[in-house]
Structure formats: structure tokens, C-alpha cells
Amino acid sequence: MEKVDYIICGDYILTMNEGLEVINKGAVAVKGADIIEAGSADFILRSYTSENVIEGKDKAVLPGLVNTHCHAPMVYFRGLADDLPLKEWLEKHIWPSENRWLSPQFVYDATELACLEMLKMGITIYNDMYFFGDSAAAASRALGIRAVIGAGIIDFPTVAGKTVQQYLANAERFIGQWKGDRLILTSIAPHAAHTCSPETLRKSKALADRLDVPLHMHLSETQWEVDDIVSRYGKKPVEHLESLGLLDGRLIAAHCVHVDDAEIAILAKRKIGVSHCIESNLKLASGIAPVPTMLSAGVRVTFGTDGAASNNDLNILSEMSTAAKLHKAIAKDPTALDSKTALLMATRWGAEALGLGNKIGSIEKGKAADIIAINLKRPHLTPLYDIYSHIVYSAMASDVDTVVIDGQPLIRNGSHISGREDAILHKAREWQCRIAASNAHH
């Protein structure tokens, strides 16, 4: 018998592999950071031995959830300004708050809270766009989550930079510093086509190509943005980016709410990964992305939470549930987005959109052990006829029992193994007091 570090058992192992194989009464053998084998529990327990067997009764085991668009540090602005249109929300509330509070320390502390929240909700990797990337990366690393940290690029000065040249130089330094890290990946994140000139976008793309990292930006989020781009450049946003040479498999495009059939065809042809942020789009009344149309055109659609200031949580389970139900209602077709497709969007397709399909996103031999277990022994998960249906339509974040990333268990029985949860929440409340007191004065 081969000795392994962990054996993770489950009544159901949802591999999310190409054949969408589900192993009943299964187990996964993990050695170092990697999955050695997945199969029936009988076979795995006969073939492998481990001092750490994670019990599988009443558990569903699946790949970690992938959050393809986030602004993690914005958790500290959760609920700060609600029920407002996006433009007003950003320009009158969020940007002034960011200008007042943003610092490396703020980003570190806030990212810790965001990572804790995501881990407890079964997210094992998130794709972020913000400033002070070193702080975000360090905080993510401290909590053990996998992350793609985007270096923000924008045409106007912020506390993080004064000029485009400075943002780009910061990005290059930051990416160099984290190169080769097992958990922290990096990207270039130009904010959007209406906040970055064609020249800025071209420079961002050239840098991403040269450093071989993803490009991450907002695209066609609001009707206002589309009208603005059309009036400035005479083209819709997707066509505008196509004309600048930005569209290829490197790009993760967040939102894509207002895209027409011609633009969808371009997204499909260029293999763009789209991050569907349904709850943020609903809350800001930005509109509803034509996801079934994109899927049938062959666009790789995935799920993002956006920031907690416009969502207001970082919960991919609820994104799946909301999206799957809403698109059925809009299409007047109960098959428009089924539970298997929704779970694929949240796992393997998300990993593929981030360029990590060969490493994570499914439970298969040779992939990194990014695995979660959901406790099925709950009134709302009983009785059980279809495991996919339960995970997409019934499971809650509080049902996440175990989270393993890169072979390391981080959440056991729903709690982070560091024992630092209370300290992270305490720090968040201290920041809340400062922010609230300052807002009262303004």
C-alpha cells in the first residue's frame, strides 16, 4: 500500500472531469500538493494508507469553487452605500471612500477578511482587481487561498499611482516579485475601456504578453458604458477591444451584460473567459447578461462575485443558484441553465478561463488538490435524489465543512485551522468604527 498524506472520502465525489463522472462512496488520495488518484472508497482504502483520513459519511466532495471576478478589499465597504445606480454609487460614495482609506494596511486587513469569507464558502481561488497588490497577495498567502491578484491600471491618479506609466511600472515590479509562487498568481488589470484610453489598453496588453500573465478587465457592464464607448470611438466595447488587439485567450472579461450577437460571436471566436456577476448586476440594476446565448455560442462563461460593496457577499454557491433560476425565467425555458452547467461554470470552466485548467478545476489524477466537502446531513439537503441539483439549488455556504488547497486542509468542520477568525473579525470592526466615524463628519 502506498503511503499518502490525506485520504478524503465522500458519499459522492463530483469529479467535474470531461465525462462529469460522479463516484458514489468514493475517495481521493492526496500526496503533497497533488491528487494521486480518485476512485471508489473500497479501492482507494485498499491501495493507499494515510494517518489522515477525512471521514466521508454524509459528505459531497467536489473541486473548490472558482471566483473569476472580485475586488476583495472592498469587503470593508460592505453595505456602506446601497440602493444606488452604479455611476452614482462609484463616483459619490465608493471612490471618495477609497481615496480616504486606501493604504497597504487597509488592503492587507480587508483582504484577510475577504479570504476568510471565501474559504468558508468553499472558494479555493479568486481572481482579483484592485490596488496595493503586494498587500493583497501577502494576506491571501497568510490564509492559504489561491489567488490571481490583478495590478490595477487606470487613467487617473489614485492613492496607488499618479500616472499610467507609474501603474504599469508598479505592475511589472509586483508581478516579478511574486513570480513562481505556488499559490499567488498575478495579472494586469486595466479597469475598463471608459477609464483607460486605447493607448493605456494597448500598453497593458503588451505588458501582459511580455510577462505572460492574464489580462483582467470590466467589459460592457452598463448601458451607460456602451453608449460612452460608442460615442467616443464609434464602436461597441467588444468591437473596440477587438480593434485594439486586446481579445485573446489571455483576457478575463467581467460582466458582459450589454453585448449583442455580433459581439458574442467575437467573444466565442477569441476564446474570451467571461465572468458572470449576476448578483452584483441585479443589485446595481446594471442589467442581465445574455448567458444562455453566450453558452450556446461557445463562450466560456464562469462566475464572479464582484466586490462585497455591490453584492454584498462573496458567495459562489448563491451566484450559481441565482443565475440558474433567473436565466430560466428570462428565457421562459426551465432548461436554459441546468445545474450541471452551473457547477461546471463554477469549477472547471472557471479554472480554464484563468488559464489554470491543466492544474485545478476538477478532481483528477495529477491536478492540485483543491477540494471541498459539503455536509449533506442538513434538513434542506434531505432527501437527496440528484446531487447536482442539491449543490446548485439547495446548498448554503454554511454547509461547507472542509476546504483543502494545494493539499493543505484550511477549513475543518467549518472553521479556519489558523484559529485567527476572531482576530480578523475584531480588526474589521475596528476599521468599521473609523470609517463610520469619518463618514459622520463628512
Summarize pLDDT for 349-394 with one digit per residue, the tens: 999 999 999 999 999 999 999 999 999 999 999 999 999 999 999 9
Cell numbers 454547509: residue: 399
Q: What residue ranges of the chain have pLDDT lower than 70?
A: 442
Query: Is beta strand 415-416 parallel, antiparallel or unpaired with respect to 408-412?
Result: antiparallel
What CA–CA distance (Å, rounded) separates 129 from 252? 11
| Statement: 2-64+361-406 belongs to CATH 2.30.40.10 | yes
Handedness of CA 409, 411, 414, 419 (dihedral sign): positive
**Local structure of 198: helix, strand or coil:** helix
Return the pLDDT at 90: 84
DSSP state of 18: T
Which pTM was predicted? 0.97
What CA–CA distance (Å, rounded) separates 339 from 331? 16
Cell of 35: 491528487
Return the pLDDT at 442: 63
What are the distances in angstroms from CA 130 to CA 71, 103, 104, 230, 332?
A: 6, 12, 11, 26, 37
**Local structure of 408: helix, strand or coil:** strand
pLDDT digits (tens, 9 = 90+) for 310-344: 999 999 999 999 999 999 999 999 999 999 999 99
User: What residue segments make up the domains of the chain, in order of their start?
Assistant: 2-64+361-406, 65-353
What are the distances in angstroms from CA 185 to CA 138, 145, 264?
A: 12, 11, 28
Architecture of domain 65-353: Alpha-Beta Barrel (3.20)
